């Protein structure tokens, strides 16, 4: 099976107008890839379905807006991938 | 239905955690029909979409205990199969497809006398705090009017 990064990058490319080859581990989905909030919600819906999880976007957004966490923690591709992997592991009890 | 006031749902027939069925009767006369279209009155397709969105919206409001508002932010596919004329009695159904963090997704359809009229897939709603207290009160009043417990 493809890596979590590749699966997420494929979803972003299929859901938005971002060319797949421009999506790299260091890419910031908002600042580098130009994903807006509406497209990001479509991406989250696709990730929820693909991985069978519920990405806690509201909590992430609150943490970033309050300064409790840097945006890069959730919105840089390699970190986003880690967060998704953590959610999958938590769901499976692993 | 009061098309000009965007009151699209007349009565909730049934509702559970994942689905709602409602009734909507198209009025014989409405200012909307003066423009859409002169001599050939039809319910605009966008108002059929609005009707399906409102049914799904009431389902989500009930799930949320009227603590937040559901705002339509997109849909994947809309099919308008036939015209809807004044006086028609419509059955509107909506089904929750996915409940995410701060958003929900629903499918919906309208039939009349078991004939398919229109469907929409994957309507997405942003779930937000009510931006104004009077809106929260209005939604509760509207829900009570159509028989949806608050």
Domain definitions of chain B by residue range: 3-145
Is the CB of B101 less than 8 angstroms away from the CB of A45? no
For residue range B4-56, list pLDDT tens digits in order: 999 999 999 999 999 999 999 999 999 999 999 999 999 999 999 999 999 99
The mean per-residue pLDDT over the stretch B62-91 comes to: 96
Q: What share of chain B is helix, strand, coil (3-state, %, to 5)?
A: 25, 40, 35
Q: Which residues of B touch A58 (CB under 8 A)?
A: 101-102
pLDDT at residue number B150: 59
Interchain CB contact of B115 with A (< 8 Å): no
Classify domain B3-145 by CATH number: 3.10.129.10
SS3 for B137?
Answer: helix
User: Nearest to residue B41, comparing CAs of B1, B86, B106, B80?
Assistant: B86
Cβ-nearest to B102 among A42, A49, A57? A57
User: Nearest to residue B86, comparing CAs of B52, B47, B127, B49?
Assistant: B47
Query: How many angstroms separate the CA atoms of B69 and A49, rounded?
Result: 24
pLDDT at residue number B53: 98
Return the active site residues of B.
36
Nearest CA in chain B to A59: B101
Q: Per residue of chain A (94 residues), what is the pLDDT tens digit?
A: 789 999 999 999 999 989 999 999 999 999 999 999 899 999 999 999 999 999 999 999 999 999 999 999 999 999 999 999 999 999 887 5
Q: Say which DSSP state B69 is in.
A: E
Is the CB of A41 less than 8 angstroms away from the CB of B126? yes
pLDDT at residue number A94: 55
Query: How many angstroms separate the CA atoms of A10 and B144, rounded?
Result: 45
Query: How many angstroms separate the CA atoms of B107 and B124, rounded?
Result: 9
Instruction: For residue B65, name the pLDDT band (cuts at 50, 70, 90).
Output: very high
Which residue bears the tokens 């060319």? A19
Query: How many angstroms separate the CA atoms of A18 and A34, rounded?
Result: 8
Of all residues in chain B, the percent with pLDDT exceeding 70 is 99
Q: Which residues of B touch A56 (CB under 8 A)?
A: 101
Query: How many angstroms separate the CA atoms of B124 and B128, rounded?
Result: 13
Interchain CB contact of A41 with B (< 8 Å): yes
* Domains (range + CATH), chain A: 4-92 (1.10.1200.10)
Interchain CB contact of B123 with A (< 8 Å): no
pLDDT at residue number A93: 77
Interchain CB contact of B103 with A (< 8 Å): yes
User: Nearest to residue B146, comparing CAs of B35, B25, B48, B63?
Assistant: B25
SS3 for B5?
Answer: helix
Does the pLDDT of residue B98 top 90, yes or no? yes
Roughly how many angstroms between the first and final C-alpha of chain A, as a whole number? 18
């Amino acid at each position: 099976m493809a890596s979590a990064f590749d699966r997420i990058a494929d979803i972003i490319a299929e859901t938005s107008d971002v060319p797949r080859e421009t999506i790299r581990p260091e890419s910031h989905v908002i600042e580098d890839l130009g994903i807006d909030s509406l497209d990001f919600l479509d991406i989250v819906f696709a990730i929820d379905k693909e991985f069978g999880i519920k990405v806690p976007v509201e909590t992430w957004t609150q943490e970033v807006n309050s300064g409790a966490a840097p945006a890069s923690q959730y919105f840089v591709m390699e970190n986003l991938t880690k967060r998704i992997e953590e959610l999958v592991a938590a769901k499976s009890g692993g | 239905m009061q098309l000009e006031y965007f009151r699209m749902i007349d009565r909730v027939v049934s509702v559970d955690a994942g689905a709602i069925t409602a009734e909507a009767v198209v009025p014989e006369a409405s200012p909307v029909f003066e423009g859409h279209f002169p001599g050939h009155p039809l319910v605009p397709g966008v108002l059929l979409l609005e009707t399906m969105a409102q049914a799904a919206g009431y389902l989500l409001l009930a799930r949320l205990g009227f603590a937040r508002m559901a705002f339509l932010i997109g849909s994947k596919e809309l099919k308008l199969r036939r015209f809807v004329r004044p006086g028609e009695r419509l059955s509107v159904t909506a089904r929750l497809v996915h409940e995410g963090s701060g958003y929900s997704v629903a499918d919906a359809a309208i039939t009349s006398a078991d004939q398919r009229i229109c469907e929409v897939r994957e309507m997405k709603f942003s779930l937000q705090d009510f931006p104004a207290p009077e809106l929260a009160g209005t939604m509760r009043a509207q829900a009570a009017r159509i028989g949806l417990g608050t």
